[in-house]
Amino acid sequence: MTRGRIVIAGAGAVGCFVGGLLAAAGHPVTLLGRPRMLDPIRDGGLRLTDFAGLDLRVAPGALELSETADCLAGAALVLVTVKGGATADMAARIAAHAPANAPVISLQNGIGNAGTLRAALPGRDLRAGMVPFNVVPAGPGHWHRASSGGIVIGAGPGDLANMLSVPGLAVTEDADITAIQWGKLLLNLNNALNALSGLALRDQLMSRGWRRLMADQMAEALGVLRASGIAVKSTTPLPAWMGPHILRLPTPLFARIAAQMLTIDPSARTSMAYDVRAGRATEIDQLQGLIVAMAAERGLSAPICAKVAGLVRSVTETGTTDPHLRPDALRP
Ligand SMILES: NC(=O)C1=CN([C@@H]2O[C@H](COP(=O)(O)OP(=O)(O)OC[C@H]3O[C@@H](n4cnc5c(N)ncnc54)[C@H](OP(=O)(O)O)[C@@H]3O)[C@@H](O)[C@H]2O)C=CC1
Ligand SMILES: CC(C)(CO)C(=O)C(=O)O
């Protein structure tokens, strides 16, 4: 097990939370990020809380903070935690600075990031990963994990999952990581719905109108994946094809089944909801956009995904940072 330096390439919600837990467990960690993210940590350290009562402080001195990519030269392992639109740029920085023997793990949503990294980093131990939990900002230097689950990374040499499993963070390896990523993508199709709803994730999930839309959107995407011969591994204890059926259940029954699989606290909102709120670029092209493109390639259509993608692009273009749409407005 290596105790070499772990560089978090993109210190935001996932990067600060994962990097903070690793540093608290004694790993040497560098957060590579923007001044707006690193300055509060430099001043007061990191605070990490979660839905189950975690409340952890990581002192400023327990982490190395860097605004420039030359810190990657010291990496024994790189965890990529930028948004999808920034992957190619980060890949070029990793190629320029990180040692060739440092494994690189993408902890990003969507399917294409590991491929983008692999293309820029040939011959490296390059793995995709899947982060099931939600992390939201809770104040300067304070990140809150608002839902449950353990990280899964692709299988490979060494014992990276064991090394990354620290108190508060479970990491496992799976040879079928691509199928797991597709399973996560089906859930991430809700990122846009959540962003457009303006609701907290839990409130959105407790609304049958939103769940019916989620179910119809998921069924549409499952049809496209089936037609494309893509294997999907569920990220919940239930098979992916059951997702739409569970979502369509009456609220009390849905709430009971969902509570057995996952904890979501009232502060949870998807990463895209934060992007829309901040007027930043979203990952819509890697989520609904991908399903629409795959459908078009096969002469199929994905009308809900297309409508949702159009609405997200339009809120970004018009600078609408607080949309409060109703589910029917997202139907074609
Ligand atoms: N947040 C969540 O709950 C979850 C997110 N994910 C996925 O994880 C990935 C990361 O998401 P999240 O943590 O929310 O993203 P954030 O936007 O919170 O964090 C990414 C950070 O990286 C910074 N960054 C980008 N490029 C560079 C660079 N070259 N140098 C330094 N910093 C850089 C960004 O700055 P800037 O904005 O200025 O570019 C941003 O501050 C995404 O793919 C997301 O879908 C997965 C599961 C849950
Ligand atoms: C909320 C969660 C965990 C699932 O959609 C997520 O992946 C995100 O916010 O991007």
Residue nearest to atom 17 of ligand 1 (CA): 12
Rounded distance from Cα 250 to ligand 1 centre (Å)? 35
Q: Is the pLDDT of residue 3 over 80?
A: no
Cα–Cα distance, 107 to 79 (Å, whole number): 7
Rounded distance from Cα 147 to ligand 2 centre (Å)? 9
pLDDT digits (tens, 9 = 90+) for 251-301: 999 999 999 888 999 999 999 999 999 999 999 999 999 999 999 999 999
Domain ranges across the chain: 6-174, 178-330
What mean pLDDT is predicted for residues 57-85? Answer: 98
pLDDT digits (tens, 9 = 90+) for 309-321: 999 999 999 999 9
Rounded distance from Cα 86 to ligand 1 centre (Å)? 8
Q: Are 117 and 10 in contact (CB under 8 A)?
A: no
| Residues whose CB is less than 8 angstroms from the CB of residue 145 and which lie 6 or more positions away in sequence, other chains included | 17, 48, 49, 50, 51, 54, 133, 134, 135
* Cα end-to-end distance, the chain, whole Å: 52
Q: Which CATH architecture does the domain made up of 6-174 adopt?
A: 3-Layer(aba) Sandwich (3.40)
Q: Are 7 and 30 in contact (CB under 8 A)?
A: yes
Q: Are 59 and 45 in contact (CB under 8 A)?
A: yes
CA 80 to chain centre: 11
Ligand 1 site-directed mutation target among 83, 113, 133, 152, most atoms within 8 Å of CB: 83
Q: Is the pLDDT of residue 2 over 60?
A: no
Fold assignment, 178-330: N-(1-d-carboxylethyl)-l-norvaline Dehydrogenase; domain 2 (1.10.1040)
Q: In the structure, which protein residues have their CB atom closer than 6 angstroms to any atom of ligand 1?
A: 10-15, 32-34, 37, 81-84, 86, 89-90, 107-109, 131, 134-135, 271, 280, 283
- The pLDDT score that the predictor gives to residue 152 is 98
Residue nearest to atom 39 of ligand 1 (CA): 86
Ligand of minimum distance to the alpha carbon of 264:
2
Does the C-beta of 188 come closer than 6 Å to ligand 2?
yes
- Which ligand 2 atom sits closest to the C-alpha of 270? 9
Share of the chain above pLDDT 90, in %: 97
pLDDT digits (tens, 9 = 90+) for 241-254: 999 999 999 999 99
Residue nearest to atom 37 of ligand 1 (CA): 280
Tokens of 323: 């949309």
Cα–Cα distance, 25 to 215 (Å, whole number): 40
Largest distance between two CA atoms of the chain: 56
pLDDT digits (tens, 9 = 90+) for 94-144: 999 999 999 999 999 999 999 999 999 999 999 999 999 999 999 999 999
Q: Where does residue 58 rank: exposed (0-12), middle (13-18), buried (19+ CB within 10 A)?
A: buried
Q: Are 218 and 243 in contact (CB under 8 A)?
A: yes
Tokens of 193: 């719905």
Q: Is the pLDDT of residue 1 over 50?
A: no
Residue nearest to atom 23 of ligand 1 (CA): 10
Ligand of minimum distance to the alpha carbon of 202:
2
What mean pLDDT is predicted for residues 196-223? Answer: 98
Cα–Cα distance, 206 to 196 (Å, whole number): 16
Phi, psi of 32 (to 5 degrees): -100, 115
Residues linked to residue 147 through DSSP beta bridges, in sequence order: 264
Rounded distance from Cα 27 to ligand 2 centre (Å)? 26
Q: Is the pLDDT of residue 153 over 50?
A: yes
Rounded distance from Cα 271 to ligand 2 centre (Å)? 6
- The pLDDT score that the predictor gives to residue 270 is 98
Angle at 144 between CA 164 and CA 15, to 5 degrees: 45
Rounded distance from Cα 210 to ligand 1 centre (Å)? 26
What mean pLDDT is predicted for residues 24-47? Answer: 98
Rounded distance from Cα 270 to ligand 2 centre (Å)? 5
Does the complex come out with an ipTM higher than 0.85?
yes
Residue nearest to atom 10 of ligand 2 (CA): 271
How does the average pLDDT of the chain come out, rounded?
A: 97
Does the C-beta of 271 come closer than 6 Å to ligand 2?
yes
Q: Is the pLDDT of residue 77 over 70?
A: yes
pLDDT digits (tens, 9 = 90+) for 54-65: 999 999 999 999
CA 152 to chain centre: 12
Rounded distance from Cα 50 to ligand 1 centre (Å)? 19
Q: Which strand (E) or helix (H) includes residue 6?
A: strand 6-9
Q: Are 96 and 73 in contact (CB under 8 A)?
A: no
pLDDT digits (tens, 9 = 90+) for 130-145: 999 999 999 999 999 9
Provide the CB-side half-sphere exposure for 291 (13 A, CA).
Answer: 31
Rounded distance from Cα 47 to ligand 2 centre (Å)? 21
- The pLDDT score that the predictor gives to residue 236 is 85
Give 119's DSSP letter. Answer: H
